[in-house]
Amino acid sequence: MKDRRCITRYRVIYGDCDSMAIVYYSNYLRLFEIGRTEWLREQGITYREVESRGFFLPATEAYLKYLKPAVYDDLLTIETSIGFLKRASTSFDYTIYRQQEVIVKGYTVHACLDRDEQIARFPDFLLTILKGA
C-alpha cells in the first residue's frame, strides 16, 4: 500500500468555537471528515460516487489526542492518510497542524457496508483506490 497523504487547509470560523473562541472539541471530528473527503477526492472519487455504487463507509471507531487548542481564525492544515486496510474495514490517520505545530492527532475506523447495511468486502474499484494501485 502506497503512503499517500492528503493536505487540506481549513480556516477556523467562529461557529467552530466555544464561548472562549477555542475550537469546540467535537468539531475536530468534522475536520477529520473534511480531510477524509478530500483524501478520497484526490484519489479520483467522491463519497457520493461510492454511495451511488451501493457502498457506505460508516465510522465504527474514533480516537483523538488533543495537544494544543486551535482558536478562531487559525489556519489549520489537516494531513490525512490510510492507517490500515482489511477486507471490510479501513482506518484513516489524521494530524492537524497550526503552522508546523501538531495540535491534534487521531484516527477513524470505517466499515464497508452494502445497500442492505450488511458488512461487505470492499469492491474492486474502492479497494484499488484505497491500496493506491
Mean pLDDT by 10 residues, the chain (133 residues): 85 96 96 97 95 97 98 98 96 97 98 97 95 74
Q: What is the pLDDT of residue 12?
A: 98
**H-type helices in 43-123, by residue range?**
47-52
Q: What is the pLDDT of residue 1?
A: 53
Q: What is the pLDDT of residue 104?
A: 98
Is CATH 3.10.129.10 the right assignment for the domain spanning 6-131? yes
Name the strands in the sheet holding 89-98, side by side, starting at the edge strand that comes first in the sequence. 6-11, 75-85, 89-98, 101-111, 59-66
What pTM was computed for the model? 0.93
- The conformation of residue 86, written as its DSSP 8-state character, comes to -
Contacts of 68 (CB under 8 A, 6+ apart): 98, 101, 102, 103
Q: What is the pLDDT of residue 132?
A: 83
Domain boundaries, the chain: 6-131
